[in-house]
Amino acid sequence: MADLKQEIQTLRQKKAKLELGGGEAAIEKQKSIGKLTARERIHALLDEGSFQEYDLFIKHDGRDFGMEKKELAADGVVTGTGTIHGEPVCIYAQDFTVSGGSLGLQHARKITKIMDIALKMKCPLIGINDSGGARIQEGVGALAGYGEIFYRNTIASGVIPQISLILGPCAGGAVYSPALTDFVFVVENISKMFITGPNVIKTVLGEDISMEDLGGARVHAEITGNAHFYALTEVECFDQVKKLLNYIPSSNELKAKAVEPAEPVTELNIEDVVPSDPRQPYDVRDVIKCITDRSEFFEIQELWAANIVIGFGRMGGQTIGFVANQPKVLAGVLDCDSADKAARFIRFCDSFNIPIVTLEDMPGYLPGVDQEHAGVIRHGAKVLYAYSEATVPKITVILRKAYGGGYIAMNSRHLGADSLFAWPIAEIAVMGPEGAANIIFRKEIEGAEDKDAMREEKVKEYTDKFANPYVAAGRGFVDAVIEPKETRSVLLQALKFAETKSEDRPKKKHGLPPF
Amino acid sequence: MEEKINGKEWANFPLEDDVYKTLLTKKFKNREVWHKPVVGEILSSLPGTVLTVTAIVGASVKAGDLLLIQEAMKMQNRILAPFDGVVKELDVKEGDKIGKNHLMAKIEPK
């Protein structure tokens, strides 16, 4: 007969051994490059004492190449449940100290088990990626494992928030799980993410590139747009994750938790932020600071496609998704990347019941052979699709320029804006005055003795007639022309009014967004 | 085109006859400049290794004649003459590792 006290001792010993993962030497190596262990990461993220581990005693599936004799602690991945800010989350962290965090079938099954729980309980899923890739000794079993994870990422998309932390290598097929999730976090010098690594590129193509230059944190934060948050240390990254979870609901059945409303605290004067001359730059984030509670703004993808700004802020205590053209960068044009960035964010907000406030000041689309050939038509269409499709409250403020296709795209009345306001310096027109005058009055300008004087006169004529918000307001496309100082109170009221919004769409399996 | 204010390089950025003061992104500055394709220039469509060269400078070729074999992405790609002509230039030899859009040969139409 078993003795309970003795069995408890045995359990503790077994757990202690398995919790060491790959052993002390491997842990030391992990730490020597600035990385925490899988368990330390989980404990740093979750509320203290809230972690309940699953499947610590799992056995791996390797039957060949001597793998059958090897023991892999927890099969290289720590999984379980816990809470962050008291709210339940499901979490997994690959353990690089165990066989390089390689993914075999049981390793994957542990992950899919926790994903199934997250989907059933409707709570966010957090995945910490730190793995050398597929466990080659297990062959197709490892591939099956990846596929089962991707399938669940897709099914859970738009139902529960899915968050990926890249805290080590994440290469080959493994990258597609993060790519299917909502938010990807990277850390300088630690994250390495690519489909084919430097070795393969060197062999096949003869190109010499380091892991960092190919798929390091900065590359994904600035060039590819694969990452949404960039941090210098793991600790900073965990703070970003916790902050993000504060702004978003735990599932698509809930609204984001409201907090105590508060007034903006910025010393900026909203009337001084935006220059009246539509060609002069400013930082649109300063406008956001003038209207959000406590002047707080949590920016997403700050470094990539900076010509559009996206992120969360609060108004009246409620989470709001902000989409704003950034005149300071590339004049705030829409291009392939910025369209992609905005459209994806709009769809996230729509999936998770977060109202969208659009601040518009843009001269149109970026011209160029590279843009046309990269498919700016297809990418630009994503913005139209995302705004039109969204049924959450959608409110637009036209701060200054709203020209041409950009006017339509940035949540215009025509795409279903619930309320649309414009500042008195707004210019809502097909194009800027210079370009328009050159086309409309070409004959007059060319026939004039003093061409420049005539051009100037005609630009002024056009500006007086069209470069204002009143033509659009006269057609009912703008609901009200407001003073900049009224922006916050007008938005608060419009958001309050839209709380009961319900809008139906025709029944369909799904639409075809221009992927 | 760019001027420095407070350590930042502000550009005068023309769009439809209006000129905007703005910052440029690294990606925009590094964008690929388009070149008009030249008839008869055979460019590599993938990076890879040249396995065999059968074309000879000065020789006549018929449309569909094998010029060279380039291995790229584990496939041996047969690079063929696009039309009847004369091989004017040959810029690869066996064993060369070449990038994408590398000029491999020039054919002058007959």
Residue A188 phi, psi dihedral angles, 5° rounding: -50, 135
Q: Smallest Cβ distance to B20: which of A206, A363, A438?
A: A363
Q: Is residue A82's pLDDT more than 60?
A: yes
Query: What residues does each domain of chain B span?
Result: 1-31, 41-109
Residues 6+ apart with CB under 8 A from A8: none
Contact B16 A434 (CB under 8 A): yes
User: Edge-to-edge strands of the sheet including B85-90?
Assistant: B41-43, B103-109, B85-90, B60-61
* Cα gap A383→A411, rounded to integer Å: 9
Query: pLDDT tens, A234-253?
Result: 999 999 999 999 999 999 99
3-state DSSP: chain B helix, strand, coil percent, rounded to 5?
5, 50, 45
Distance CA A513, CA A339 (A): 13
- Position with higher pLDDT, B12 vs A68: B12
The minimal CB distance from A434 to the residues B18, B31, B34 is found for B18
Give the predicted TM-score (pTM) of the model: 0.93
Q: Among A43-47, A79-83, A501-505, B35-39, where is mean pLDDT lowest?
A: B35-39
* A186-244 tens-digit pLDDT: 999 999 999 988 888 887 777 789 999 999 999 999 999 999 999 999 999 999 999 99
Report whether pLDDT(A153) > 70: yes
Question: Where exactly are the structural domains of chain A?
Answer: 4-247, 270-430+467-500, 433-466
Q: Do A327 and B22 touch (CB under 8 A)?
A: yes
Judge whether A4-247 and A270-430+467-500 match in fold: yes
Instruction: Please answer yes or no on whether A204 and B16 come within 8 Å at the CB atom.
Output: no
CATH number of A4-247: 3.90.226.10
Question: What pLDDT digit, counting tens, does each position of B16-49 carry?
Answer: 888 999 999 988 999 888 888 899 999 998 888 9
Nearest to A305 by CA among B10, B7, B18, B24: B24
Section A252-256 average pLDDT: 97
Tell me the Cα Rg of chain A.
27
Q: Which two tokens stand for residue A51?
A: 């972690």
Contacts of residue A25, Cβ cutoff 8 Å, sequence gap at least 6? none
The pLDDT value given to residue A144: 95
Residues of B in contact with A309 (CB under 8 A): none
B interface toward A at CB cutoff 8 Å? 10, 13, 15-28, 31-34, 47-49, 72-73, 97, 99
**Packing angle of the helix pair A38-45, A234-247 (nearest 10 deg):** 40
A330·B23 Cβ contact <8 A:
yes
Q: Which tens digits make up the pLDDT trace of A122-150?
A: 999 999 999 999 988 888 999 999 999 99
Q: Which of A295-304, A345-354, A365-374 has the lowest mean pLDDT?
A: A365-374
Mean pLDDT of A165-175: 94
Mean pLDDT of A267-281: 95
Give the integer Cα–Cα distance in Å for A398 and A134.
50
User: Does A223 touch chain B if contact means CB atoms closer than 8 Å?
Assistant: yes
Residue B1 reports pLDDT greater than 60: no
Give the ipTM of the model, two decimals please: 0.82
Q: Compare all CA atoms of chain B with the CA of A337 and give the residue at the minimum distance.
A: B27
CB A290 within 8 A of CB A487: yes
CATH number of B41-109: 2.40.50.100
Phi, psi of A356 (to 5 degrees): -115, 130
The domain covering A270-430+467-500 belongs, at the CATH homologous superfamily level, to 2-enoyl-CoA Hydratase; Chain A, domain 1 (3.90.226.10)
Chain A residues with CB inside 8 Å of B76's CB? Answer: none
Contacts with A275 from chain B: Cβ below 8 Å: none
Question: What mean pLDDT, rounded, does chain A reach?
Answer: 95
DSSP A134: B
Q: Given a cut of 70, is residue A55 above it in pLDDT? A: yes
